[in-house]
Every structure is written in C-alpha cells, then in structure tokens.
Structure 1
C-alpha cells in the first residue's frame, strides 16, 4: 500500500504517518496539491491519497482525473464536522476521516483499499487448478498472459501473482489499454518530456518507470494500436524505454503481465496484433474459466459480496435462501464475477425479509433472475448445432445488419451504457463499437447514453 498525505492535517500529520507506517503502508507527505501532482508525475505512484479538508479537494480530484492518475481520495479534518465531510464527498472524496486519527479507523481505510480488487476467492477445482499454476510460476520473472471472458478476474489474478512474487514489495502498476485513447496511451506507458507535444506542460514519468522493480499489468492489451505494439516489444525485449521527446533511453526492470478477453492468435491472423509481441508476452498462459464453469465458487462469492455491500451500505447482512443459491448456480452469468458482484449489491439493497430470496435478485434490465436462470446452460447442453437451431428461429427473414444492431444495442443496455464492458462482452474492439454507435446515431436511432465510467471510451 502506497499512501500520499497532502497537507499538514492540522498538526496530526505525524500521528497519521506513524499509524500508516505501522500498518505496513509506504508513506509520502507533501505540503500542497501541486507538490502531490509533481510527485505523481515523477513516477512515485500511490494507491490512496489523504488530503487536508482545508485544501481544495475538488481541484485535486479533477486534476487526478485529467492527468489519468487512478487513486481514491480520502479527506481528513478535525473532529466530526458534518458540513466539511459532506462538502468533501460532493467534491469527489471517497471518504471523510476525522482527526485526531484513530488507529483502527485508518487501518480500516487502508485495508478497504488494499482489499478492493485483490482478493482471490475460490473453492471450485477448476479455479483451484489455475491458482496452483499461478503460484508455481509467480516466483519466476517470466512474462504472463492471462486470458478469459470479461469479468472473470484477470486483474485480480495479476495482482495475486505479483503478491506471490519476489517483487511483492515493489510497485504493482496497472494500465487499462482499452480505456485510454491511442493518442494518449504512448505517453501513459513511456512518459514524456516537458514541451514534447501540445499540452505537455511538465515532465511526466510513464507507467514503465513507475513500475520499475515491480510488475506492470497491461490490461486488455488486444486493444492497443499495432503501431504502438512495436515500441512496446522493444521495451520488453531490451528493458529500455524512450520518453516522448526524450534525449536518451531509460533502463527499466519490470515484469510484464498482460490480459485479454480475445483470442490473440486470431487477432494475429487478422493483422491487428503482432505475432512477435504475442510470443514475447505469452511465455506462460493462464486461462481463467468463466463463472458458469466453476459452480462451486458461485455461492462462496455471493456470500462474500453480500457481506461486503451490507457493511458498505450500513444494512443488515442477510443469508441467501436455498432457492436463491440454486437459482444463482443455474444462471449463465455472461458478465461472470463482475456481474455476480453487481447483482448481489442490488439484492442487498432490495431485500426486505429475513433472507435474500430469489425475488430480491434482479438483472440489470430489471428482469427476475429466475426468468433467466438455466436457459443458456440448457442451450449449451444441446450441443452447438442444437443450440443454434433452437436460437435462430426468430432470426429467419431478418438481415444480418438488423440482427447485429439489435445485439449491440441490447448488450449496451445490459451494461447500463458502459461502452468498454459492452465491447468486451460482444468480442469487438472499442473502436469498432464506437463506429457502429456513430452509424446508428447518424441513422436516427436511440443509443443508450455512456455511463460516467465509460465516457473516456464513448
């Protein structure tokens, strides 16, 4: 856990730092927001920011978003000042921490951030086999390719490998290649010098340098433009990078883990992914099974998410009824663990009785889980040909373009407008999805609005 503390915290900085250090955090302290941004630009990354509520919290949050620094912000102030707390949350802070700092409270905040996306929860033998292989290869320095459907936990697995490796005490840095426009991704990875291009107002250390000594995760690498892949290949092979506008190469020592929800062999055949880069990255391949192929994990994960969101929302933790567990196990879970997590979050908020019943569980489109449970699995059991015959009856007489349009729009609705998630489920690139949606908009069709988290890719 890397923590950056911004401001004096009204003289409580020493106490907060000591508590964080005792809990195993690596702490950096700066006086103001400008110093914090310069620290991050210099490659000294952080996983959490604590900021004095007397500073401009909104400016920090907006600056982090503008410069693509992905870290949560917690505001701190003397006592339980409700007005200051509300203002900080409205400005974009995730939490408000009263001072003087309580050791248990700071520990809880740190643990919540550390736990957020790094827990490996499994019981099913199918997942256990993959985890054992991950543990076997973690001590090596080999590059790893993690594949699997969207939502199966590829980033969680990458973090798990890092924590089991000799680099565990060094940075783990993640870059979502699908969420960053091509024009910015090169700078994000390799950094730039001041004045290298319009808008480069200061030197910016890229993710390769930030991850030096540790692990760099290239999430959804199949979305990277093929022209940038050549520079990435050189960086991995030679262990040197060139900042944009830089005068000399910079040496780096990192382990690279990449993820993809696509078949990269097929992408190579299409000419959208370099074969030599695939060979370099795919020293070891870990294929994560979809949730429907690890049924013993469904109840375990559902119970975990119920507890997590009951605690987060301050509501009673309810048990899952036997009928609910049975329905959860029969559901198809196209979005895998991510979809299950969101579904259980809704159930926690909707449940009123002593248990979470089947009727409390709703899918993103508002339909009941019981209506959807088992149908895709039954179709799969018929065999590929049988499933095709059973599922195409309503398509005869329609054009391929019409079917494609309805599939894209329905999937986008299912993902609540999130372009990145929809593209992952559809198995197409975010660029292809954007082009299709522009075409539909030009044709006068209604397209679901982009969610806040997908505006960068909308």
Structure 2
C-alpha cells in the first residue's frame, strides 16, 4: 500500500509511520497540504493520505476534489477529542485515527479505507476454474477483460492477476469509469497541463503515467463515452498518451485489465462501444460466475465475512447455524458477493445467542432473507424466527399502495442518511453504480428534496 503522511513526523505520527512501514506500506512524507497536493499531482500517487488533525483537513479534501485526485483521507490526532473527530469526518475524512497509534487499529483502518483485504476465497469448482485460468495468463502481457454481474468480485480478481504477474512489485492503479463524470475522466486518465482548462492550476499526471511499468484497471469500461474510447484505443495501440493541453506524447509501459458487467458484444451492436477497442481489450476473457452459480462459495464467503466483521466491530464471533446456511444457499443473491458481504455484516450485529440464526439474515429494507418460504406454518417456527417473519411481513404490507418510484426514493435517501451522506458507501450498499446514484439524487434535488452532503444527516422535522 502507498501511504502519504501529511504533517509533522515527530512524536506519535512518526510512530504511526513506522508501524505502517513495518506492515509493508510504502510511505511518502509531506510537511504541508500544498506539498501533499504537489506530490499527488506529480504522479507518485497514494492509496491513502494520513493527515495530522492540526492541519486544515477541509482544505486538503477540497484540494483533492478540485484536482480530481481520488485519494481517501484519514485524520489522526493525539487524544480522544470527540469534537475533533466529528469535525474531521464532516470535513471529508473517511476515518479518524486516535494517537498514540495501536498497530491493530492502524491495520484495520488501512484495510477498511484502502480496501486492501482483497482475498480470493473460493471453494466452488466454477470459481476455481476461473482462478486456474487467471493463474495461467497472469505472467503474460496480454490485456484481460473481466466480465460478470455487478458484485461478483471483478476488481478482486484483477488485483489477484496483478499479484501473480511479472509486474507484481509495480503499481496497481484502478479507475472506476462509472464513478467519474465524463468531462473529467479524460484528465483523470491522461493528465493535463497547466492552463489546459478552467481549474487546471498546475500540471497533473494521469492514471496512465501513474501506473507506468505496472497494471491499470479500467473498471466498468462500458460507461466510457465514444470519443474517449478512441483516445484510449490509440493509447493502447501506440503505448503513448497525450495529456490534455499537451504538445508532446508521453511513452507508457502498462498492462491493461478492464471490467464490465454488460455484454460488450451487444454494446458494439448497439453502437455504444467500439469494436476495435473490444478486440484490443478482449485478448483474454475471464467471466466470473454469479454467486448463485457457485453455491459452495456462498458458505465459504459467509464464514469469512462473519469472522471479519466480528473482529472489525469488536463483538464475539458467532458461527453460522446450519439452518442459516441452508437459507443463505437458497437465496438468489442478485447483488452477488457485495450483497452477501453486507448481509453478513448486518447479521453479525443483529445476531444473539451462540450462533448466527436465520432471524439475523435480513435485506436492507428489513425483510428477512427467505421469509417468503415461511408463508405457511409460521406457528411451528421458533419464537425468534416467527417474530422476524412477522416483522418482515409487516414491512411488506406497509409498502402496499405505494409506487415503486416512491419506495425506491425512500430507500435511496434512507441509505444515504445511514451512510452520513457518503455516496460511494451508499451506492455499494444499494448495489447500484455511483453514476446511477448521482442521477437519482440530482432528480430528487430538482424536485425540492433535501439531500445530505458528506458527513450530514437529513433534518428530521
């Protein structure tokens, strides 16, 4: 992991830096916010910025946003001042890390924010077959297209391929093409020169240059507009890029991995995706099966998430009961691994007793997973299960008479409220793209509804 320390290295921050380095992080230091922004513009890159609370966290977050640099910020400070922690989160920090540093807490924060826990967990033959193909092609220089439904783990597999490749000790840079507005994606990918457009206050190195000698993941590439597809095709063919506003091409040496949850051949037929670009990307295609196509993985992943979130939340580990396992395997999991992970996280928090029972397995709307299977004969169920079924039925009855649009709106806004305005977290929980979420929120805002910003909750009145 690449860590940028912003602030003084003396005292406790220095100790936190040493812990991070001992755990394999590559650390860069900036004494000020201006220096931090200059380092990130220059292409050194960082997976995470750890910023001293004595500095202006808001200035750093706004500076990153203005320059379209997608690096999460964690604030840190001595003591346990709750007000400082709240202010840091409201200013845009992802987490607040109290000092003096605790090695396990630092590791947990790094894993949660930078999402370093990319483990390939697979026991089902369908997924093991895909991993076998990934092992076979990883050492090559071939471009790889990863396809499959949303939430199946395409980015996890991309990181796995990188770690198995000859570029494993070089950068792995990921760009979510769906999460970045179209008018900004070109600059994000190729960089820009000072004055290239309004707001371009300095030269900015793009993701292609940042990934030089390593691997560049183009996540959800089907969301890229046709004009930019042409520039991407040239970059792949010629192994050089042009910065926005630049006068000379820049040579690059990278491996491309792309993902899509759409059928790109169908997108070619529709005219929304270039056929020649598809051929360049699709040298090797790895299709990740949906979770319902690999039932053994449902149980393996559930056990992994149960232990992971028990540790993360500081609660006692409870095994998953046999009745619960049957329930999990029977569910279709339209959101795949992402949906399963969120469901088990909830279950860890809701469970009581010595194991995770069926009553703890609930969907985001509160409805119990598989409750429809208990429509008849609920009186024969244990009291906790029967209570959960009745509660889920009451939730369902409350939706009768309402339009789908109204229910969708309330679910989106309630989820955003739960996430304190964090769009990315809300989109992940809802199982939709960040672009879809933004479009919905723009629609609601135009209708006069209050939309919570980062670190905010809707006013209740």
Determine the structure 2 residue equivalent to 1:133. 133
In structure 2, the partner of 1:75 is 75
Alignment partner, residue 283 of structure 1: 283
Structure 1 segment 161-172 matched on structure 2, within 5 A = 161-172=161-172
The residue aligned with 1:20 is 20
1:321-379 alpha-carbon deviations (Å, 9 max, x no partner): 1111100000000000001111112212222332221111211222211225799xxxx
The answer to whether the Cα contact below 8 Å between 1:331 and 1:369 also exists between their aligned partners in 2 is yes
Instruction: Kindly indicate whether the alpha-carbon contact (under 8 Å) linking 1:174 and 1:218 is maintained by their aligned counterparts in 2.
Output: yes
Which runs of no fewer than 5 residues in structure 1 stay unpaired? 376-405, 454-458
Match of 1:292 in 2: 292
Partner of 2:222: 222
Give 1:412 deviation, angstroms: 7.1
Question: Deviation digits for residues 179-223 of structure 1, max 9, x if unmatched?
Answer: 111111111111111111112122111110111111111011011
Residue matched to 1:456:
none
Q: 1:235 to 1:450 in 2, by over 3 A?
A: farther
Q: Deviations over 1:164-189 (max 9, x none)?
A: 11111111111111111111111111
Alignment partner of 2:39: what SS?
A: helix
Contact 2:5–2:29 (CA under 8 A) maintained in structure 1: yes
User: Alpha-carbon deviation of 1:59?
Assistant: 2.4
- Report the alpha carbon displacement of residue 73 of structure 1 after superposing the two structures with TM: 2.4
SS at match of 1:266: helix
Residue 351 of structure 1 pairs with residue 335 of structure 2: no
Q: 1:204 to 1:114 in 2, by over 3 A?
A: closer
Give, in angstroms, the shift of residue 42 of structure 1: 1.2
**CA distance in 2 between partners of 1:429 and 1:25 (Å):** 29
Q: Is the 8 A contact 2:92 2:454 kept in 1?
A: no
Give the conservation status (yes or no) of the 8 Å contact 1:413–1:448.
Answer: no
Q: Structure 2 vs 1, CA of residues 432 and 6 (structure 1 numbering), >3 Å: closer, same or farther?
A: closer
Contact 2:94 2:113 in 1 (8 A): no
Report the Cα offset of residue 92 of structure 1. Answer: 3.6
CA distance in 2 between counterparts of 1:84 and 1:432 reads 30
Q: 1:367 to 1:101 in 2, by over 3 A?
A: closer
Partner Cα separation in structure 2 for residue 421 and residue 11 of structure 1: 38
Give the Cα–Cα distance (whole angstroms) in 2 for the partners of residues 25 and 436 of structure 1: 37
Aligned to 2:189: 189
Match in the other structure for 2:336 = 336
| Alignment-derived partner of residue 368 in structure 2 | 368
Correspondence for 1:321: 321
Q: Whole-Å Cα distance in 1 between the matches of residues 410 and 136 of structure 2?
A: 41
SS in 1 for 2:152: coil
Question: 1:388 — aligned with what?
Answer: none
Counterparts of 1:127 and 1:363, CA distance in 2: 25
Counting matched residue pairs gives 419
- The 1-side partners of 2:145 and 2:192 are apart by 27
RMSD: 3.5
Match of 1:263 in 2: 263
Q: Is the 8 A contact 2:110 2:116 kept in 1?
A: no
Structure 1 residue 71: deviation in Å?
A: 3.0
- The structure-2 alpha-carbon separation of the partners of 1:314 and 1:257, relative to structure 1 and needing over 3 Å to count, comes to same
SS in 2 for 1:369: coil
Query: How far is 1:436 from its partner?
Result: 13
Alpha carbons of structure 1 residues 447 and 297: separation in structure 2 relative to 1, 3 Å:
farther
Matched with 1:274 is 274
Distance 1:179 1:429 in 2: 5
Task: Give the 3-state SS of the residue equivalent to 1:141 in structure 2.
Answer: coil
Structure 2: give runs of 5+ residues left out of the alignment: 376-402, 417-422, 456-461
Aligned 1:23-422 pairs, distance under 5 A:
23-81=23-81, 83-103=83-103, 105-110=105-110, 116-371=116-371, 416=415
**TM-score under structure 2 normalisation?**
0.81
